[in-house]
Amino acid sequence: MRLSKLAMRREAGFTLVELLVVIAIIGILIGMLVPAVQRVRESANRTVCLNNLKQIGLALHQYHDANLRFPPAYITEDTSASGTAYGVSYPDDNRNGPSGFGWGTLILPYLEQGNLYNLFNLKLPCWATENALAAKTKVEVFLCPAVPVGYDSFELVRYTAGSSQNPQNPATFSPSIYFARSHYVANAGIHQPWGRDPAYCLDFEVGEPIPANGNIPAFLDGPFYRNSRTKIAAVTDGLSNTVFIGERSPTLCDVTWVGVVPWACTPPRPGWPSDPNSGGNLVGVHSGPDTHDHPNVIIHAPNHPFGHTDEMYSDHQRGCHVLFGDGSVRFIHATINPLAWVAMSTRNGNDVIVE
C-alpha cells in the first residue's frame, strides 16, 4: 500500500523533460509578448510627444496674437553692450548677452504656466541668482516620455578655447548654472546663427558673405533665431510647409527651454563623433547646408546617424516629431529626401517640397 502511494506521487510529478518543455513554451510566449508591449509603449510615448508639440504650437500662435509676432529663439537686449553679470562676462564672440531668455520661457503664460513665468525676473539675465529656482523647474510639456534619461535640470558648460564657431574644452561655469531640460528645439533654418563670423553677429538680420560661397550673402531663413521678429506674413513658403519646432533628446546633447548664457556650448554625449556647438544651439537647430560648409554640402535630417549636436534627434524609432507653423505635427523619418528637409526648414525659400 505504501509503495502504491509512493508510485502515485511519483507519477503525479513532472519529469525533467516536461519541465524543460514548459520553460521553453513560457520563453516563447514571453518573446512574443515583449515586442507587443514595446510597441504599445512606443505608441503611447508618440501620442504624448505629439500632444506636447500641439500644445506648444497653440502657445506660439497665442503669443503671436498677443505680440503680433512669434517669439525669438532667445533674446539679447543689446548685442553691442559689454560687461559682467552674475559671474558671466558678455558678450561672447557670437555677441550673446543678457537677458538670454529663450522661446520656451516666453510662451510659458500660454502653456498654463503663468505662475512659473511670474517667478522669473525678465529684467535680469536668465542665469541670475534670482532666477535660479524657476530656471530649474521641470515643465512636463517640454519633455518627451520616450527619452530614457534626462528629465531633471543639468549643469551648463562653457567653452574655454576656440571660438563660437569652433567651441573647445568645455568646463562648468563658476558659479555653477543649472537649467531645466527641454526635449524640443526651435528651427533656425538652413544656416547656423551660432556659426557666424563675429563681424556678422551684431545683427542677425544682416546677410553674411562667405568667400567659399562666392561672397553671396547668406541670410537666416528659419522662423527662430536670436532677436527674430517673425510674423505670419514673413513665412511666405506657407505655415504648413515650414518647420517650427522639433525634438532633440539629451541622448545626443543638452537642451533647455530657459535661454542662452554667453560662452555656453553643447558637447555631444560620449560616443558621438560630432563636435560641440555654441550657446544658441541650447535652444535651436538648423538643417544645413550651412554656408560655412561650402563647398561641402552637409544636410542633417532628423536622427542623422552622425549625431550633429545642432540637428533634430529623438529616441523614437526611425525619426522624430516636428511641429509645423500651422500647428500640425508630423513624424519625419530619418530617410526623408534631404532636399525636402531643407525646403521644409526655410520660411521664405520659394522652394518646392520633394516627396
pLDDT, position 11: 54
pLDDT, position 155: 98
pLDDT surpasses 80 at 351: no
pLDDT, position 215: 82
Say whether the peptide bond before residue 295 is cis (omega within 30 degrees of 0): yes
H/E stretch holding 27 reads helix 16-67
Q: Are 121 and 130 in contact (CB under 8 A)?
A: yes
Where does the pLDDT of residue 136 fall: very low under 50, low under 70, confident under 90, or very high at 90 and above? very high
- Lowest-confidence pick of 19-33, 105-119, 121-135: 19-33
Q: How distant is the alpha carbon of residue 45 from its chain centre?
A: 17
CA distance 38 to 36: 5
For residues 300-326, average pLDDT? 95
pLDDT, position 297: 83
Residue 180 half-sphere exposure toward CB, CA atoms < 13 A: 23
Residue bearing cell 561672397: 215
Phi and psi at residue 70, in whole multiples of 5°? -80, 155
Answer left, alpha or beta for residue 12, where phi above 0 means left and psi between -120 and 50 means alpha.
Answer: alpha
pLDDT, position 213: 74
pLDDT, position 79: 97
pLDDT surpasses 60 at 355: no
pLDDT, position 35: 59
Higher pLDDT, 318 or 125: 125
Q: Are 329 and 321 in contact (CB under 8 A)?
A: yes
pLDDT, position 19: 72
Where does the pLDDT of residue 354 fall: very low under 50, low under 70, confident under 90, or very high at 90 and above? low
Report angle CA 183, 279, 110 to the nearest 5 degrees.
Answer: 45
Q: What is the pLDDT of residues 5-45, one digit of tens each?
A: 545 455 556 687 767 777 777 777 666 655 555 555 677 88
Residue bearing cell 497653440: 58
**Percent with pLDDT over 70 in the chain:** 91
**Percent with pLDDT over 90 in the chain:** 79
Which is nearest to 107 in space by CA: 132, 138, 141?
141
Where does the pLDDT of residue 151 fall: very low under 50, low under 70, confident under 90, or very high at 90 and above? confident
Q: Which residues, in sequence order, are CB contacts of 176 under 8 Å at separation 6+? A: 155
Where does the pLDDT of residue 1 fall: very low under 50, low under 70, confident under 90, or very high at 90 and above? very low
